[in-house]
Amino acid sequence: MIRAADRARARHVRTEGDLEPLFSHSSNADDRAVLTRLRQIYEAGGWVLVESAVADLPADLRWLYESDAVTLPQLAAIHEATGATSTADLAAAAAEHRIRGEVGPEVEERIRAALPNLRALMPRIALGRAAAIAEPFLTALRAMPEVAWAEPTGSLRRGEDMIGDIDILAPASEPAPVFDALLRLPQSSRVLYRRERRIYLLSERSQVAVRVPEPSRAGGRLLYLTGSIGHVDALREHARTRGLTLGADGLAASDGTAMAAAAEDEIYRALDLPCIPVEIRQGNGEVAAAARGELPELVARRDIRGDLHMHSIYSDGRDAIETMVEASRALGYEYIAITDHSQRSAASHNLTVDDVHRQADEIAALRERFPDIAILHGCEVDILPDGRLDFVDQVLSRFDVVLASLHESAGQSPEQLLKRYGAAMQHPLVSIITHPSNRMVPHRRGYDIDYDRLFELAVETETIVEVDGAPGHLDLDGALARRAVAAGAMLVINSDCHRAELLDRQMTFGITMARRGWVEPRHVVNTRPLDAVRAAIVAKRSR
């Protein structure tokens, strides 16, 4: 398709306005696919030939071309020689010097230099949206008898908050039936690109790539495509010290003999390493830690006993308290907290003082009906610009747990924001600070405050710091969660959910952020039984 686009561009230059001859000949199927697309554009009254042809390329190749690192003919030569269709493929080919034979060492080095910056050029989508797009494809693939297993790769599998590619690996001996089944899914808008063992589909205006390797070699592909580049580089160096080489298909002995691996843990085992959790494959010392036997036992879904941040129709939630309770029971939770927004919050509807009394009565009745789950009456109270809380102490004292938060996007200096947090944390009734950076993924960066001081204040005041799993927050992120733990702060992982059907998904996102921060169960208060949670709340209130 790349060469077809380049040939089409050359023909356009020769036509000098008479474009019909361009559509009358096609030498192969790739040409026909591109020319069909160009005819549609031409007949619609526009002529954006190169842009439109390039737009049909796999996204990573398109952005490499747009970075000016390569010309279209060079890209075509690289693609045809290596089969590369993604940055992971290109990184592997460059590392193994498979590019220079086609375009020379200078172009290969240009590509290597461009790859780290390519992500800045490429449009990225938020983790929540990417996971939602990938989910129906993963569900369908896992139900196919031909497919051994199906997993996302790349930044989606690692749980980064912004995703560049939606890539899925699904090993099978015969790829054609797998692709045919995918094309029947209502989420598949059209085919962007197809080869023997990979297909690129358009779904909800995003590209979804599905690769179908041979099952016996799938472990190497999964590890390599999951990345990150820094992690793979560290693994490659670790392999080199053992006389092995690590490439896109897995390990090879010094004589070049490939070591087949159907699962990626086989590769780690061959390197005398435990299988490193995907969330910490960031090239930040995890390989060295694994070699020393010092990897943390990361918090997992099975460790979570309850959810201390969710909303109901008393504020901006969609569902009644009873619905949230029933959904939480279905998840096996021992306890939850209903924490609607306080009276002056910017939410669509807020909890008034009168509502507090009515809500308390409703929760008391639900406790009678559902004795198998503890229902805490809580509130997410806004921290006002002067540091006061949005309810007076007489009201706050009625709640079993009080969460305090900032919601403004701008208006105060970092020092003023930190002062507001400090005032709230000094309050004995405030147990938890929620989504501390107050970022809105992907629209708004978090506050530029002194987080190390924030975490010190949390330790000094015995205030718990939240890892919020709402896809618009994902806050704390992994880096901040790691700093919080290093400071000695206690964390809570919450869903901040406004719809019962999303309780599990948003808790999973929160766990992912915590795992990216090397967080262990001992660092998280809601891995503990209810008595321990209550004790933490009472201890601060008694100070």
b/e burial code for range 379-416 (CB count within 10 A of at least 16 → b): bbbbbeeeeebbbeeebbeebbbbbbbbeeeeeeeeee
Dig out the tokens for 434 from the structure. 């929620």
Taking the C-alpha atoms of residue 394 and residue 251, their distance in angstroms, rounded to an integer, is 65
On whether the CB atoms of residues 178 and 141 are closer than 8 A, the answer is yes
Taking the C-alpha atoms of residue 191 and residue 199, their distance in angstroms, rounded to an integer, is 7
What is the reported pLDDT for 219?
Answer: 96
Dig out the tokens for 376 from the structure. 């805490």
Taking the C-alpha atoms of residue 116 and residue 319, their distance in angstroms, rounded to an integer, is 44
Closest CA to 164 of 118, 195, 196, 132: 118
On whether the CB atoms of residues 97 and 108 are closer than 8 A, the answer is yes
Look at the chain and count its residues: 543
Residues of the chain with pLDDT under 50: 1-19, 22-31, 41-53
Helix, strand, coil shares, percent, the chain, to 5 = 50, 15, 35
Q: List, as one string, the DSSP characters of 462-496.
A: T-EEEEE--TTT-BS-HHHHHHHHHHT--EEEE--
Q: Which residue has the tokens 């690692």?
A: 158
Sequence-distant (≥ 6) Cβ neighbours of residue 433 within 8 angstroms: 403, 404, 405, 421, 424, 425, 454, 458, 463, 464, 465, 466
Q: Which amino acid is at 344?
A: R
Q: Which amino acid is at 160?
A: E
DSSP-assigned beta bridge partners for residue 87: none
On whether the CB atoms of residues 158 and 226 are closer than 8 A, the answer is yes
What is the reported pLDDT for 165?
Answer: 81
DSSP 444: B
Q: List, in order of start, the domains of the chain with CATH numbers.
A: 2-121 (no CATH), 125-212 (3.30.460.10), 231-291 (3.30.210.10), 301-541 (3.20.20.140)
On whether the CB atoms of residues 463 and 425 are closer than 8 A, the answer is yes
b/e burial code for range 488-512 (CB count within 10 A of at least 16 → b): ebbbbbbbbbbbbebbbbbbbbbbb
Helix, strand or coil, per DSSP, at residue 28: coil
DSSP 209: E
For 121, phi and psi rounded to 5 degrees?
-80, -30
Taking the C-alpha atoms of residue 496 and residue 475, their distance in angstroms, rounded to an integer, is 11
Taking the C-alpha atoms of residue 428 and residue 459, their distance in angstroms, rounded to an integer, is 13
Closest CA to 452 of 468, 465, 443, 441: 465
What is the reported pLDDT for 10?
Answer: 45
Taking the C-alpha atoms of residue 497 and residue 100, their distance in angstroms, rounded to an integer, is 51
Q: Are strands 250-252 and 258-259 parallel, antiparallel or unpaired?
A: antiparallel
Taking the C-alpha atoms of residue 351 and residue 372, their distance in angstroms, rounded to an integer, is 27
Dig out the tokens for 258 from the structure. 């490939």
On whether the CB atoms of residues 503 and 324 are closer than 8 A, the answer is yes
Q: Which residue has the tokens 């290109």?
A: 90
Q: Which residue has the tokens 């001081």?
A: 453
Taking the C-alpha atoms of residue 150 and residue 218, their distance in angstroms, rounded to an integer, is 10
What is the reported pLDDT for 14?
Answer: 39
Q: Which residue has the tokens 């008034």?
A: 352
Q: Within its chain, how far is the Cα of 165 from the centroid?
A: 11
- Model-wide pTM > 0.75: yes
- Distances from the Cα of 511 to the Cα of 163, 287, 415, angstroms: 17, 22, 30
Cβ–Cβ contacts within 10 Å for residue 220, how many? 26
Taking the C-alpha atoms of residue 227 and residue 223, their distance in angstroms, rounded to an integer, is 6
Dig out the tokens for 401 from the structure. 């747990």
